[in-house]
Amino acid sequence: MTAAVLRRYTDRLAEHLVGSPTRRSAILDEVLDGLQCATDCHLDDCPDAEEAAHRAVREWGPPAEVARAYNDATLRISANRLSLHTICALPLLAAAWASALLSGPAGPWPQHPPLLLIGLAIMAFSCVLSLAGAFSGLRKGTGLAAAAARRDQTVTTGTLTALVGLLCVLGALVLLLLNRGLSHPESLDWALVTIPATLTLAAGAYFGTALKRFVSVLRGADSP
């Protein structure tokens, strides 16, 4: 009966948790272990094991409130991880593209066409936007103050800004590569360009999926 009482509690808790299956499973294991410890403590002055389990459950509080606290931590951890990935990805892509383009043939245009200038402007603005959002999310989402407080809206806003900015950078890179490859394919060393192009497509797939998952976690954390 003790196990049934604790299991019913964790089942109700699981209905409110957000995040990856691995994290949700780890949270449920942690809660179940804590409930078992609390039940064992109550057995010292309560001979009825089932009543001891009920006391432990009441001490932990309503499952929805406990889940909300865990969801805030899950959201903050996800935001910090994605912000760090964004900060690491941009310099890596910049170095890969710079190496490929500078090592290849010279550019074909005596004067840069408007489309190229627009693409470069979008890419530069998106880089600044992405890095600003990532650093803002990290600054607001780490430290003792962030851990003690409920989730700060700046954390989620900064991470979303970083992801959107990075996806804009990746989109601009793909468009610029297609434009130059179709108009002047002889100006590119395709063997060298293959490496950053592959990295760009892989980053686009990863961060696009990450944005979708982060939004789903955010919506789940905001739901009652």
List the chain pLDDT tens, one digit each, 224 residues: 688 889 999 999 999 998 888 989 999 999 999 999 999 888 888 788 888 888 889 999 999 889 988 888 888 888 888 889 999 999 889 888 888 877 777 766 666 677 777 887 888 888 888 988 888 877 765 544 444 444 455 578 888 889 999 999 999 888 888 888 888 888 888 888 999 999 999 999 999 998 888 888 887 766 65
Query: Which CATH number describes the domain made up of 79-222?
Result: 1.20.120
| Contact by Cβ (8 Å): 43, 14 | no
Q: Which residues contact 215 (CB under 8 A, 6 or more apart)?
A: 160
Contacts of 138 (CB under 8 A, 6+ apart): 80, 83, 84, 87, 158
Which residues are CB-contacts of 69 (< 8 A; sequence separation ≥ 6)?
A: none
Q: What global pTM score does this model have?
A: 0.74
DSSP state of 150: P
Task: Tell me how far apart the alpha carbons of residues 154 and 77 are, in angstroms, rounded to a whole number.
Answer: 14
The domain ranges of the chain are: 2-61, 79-222
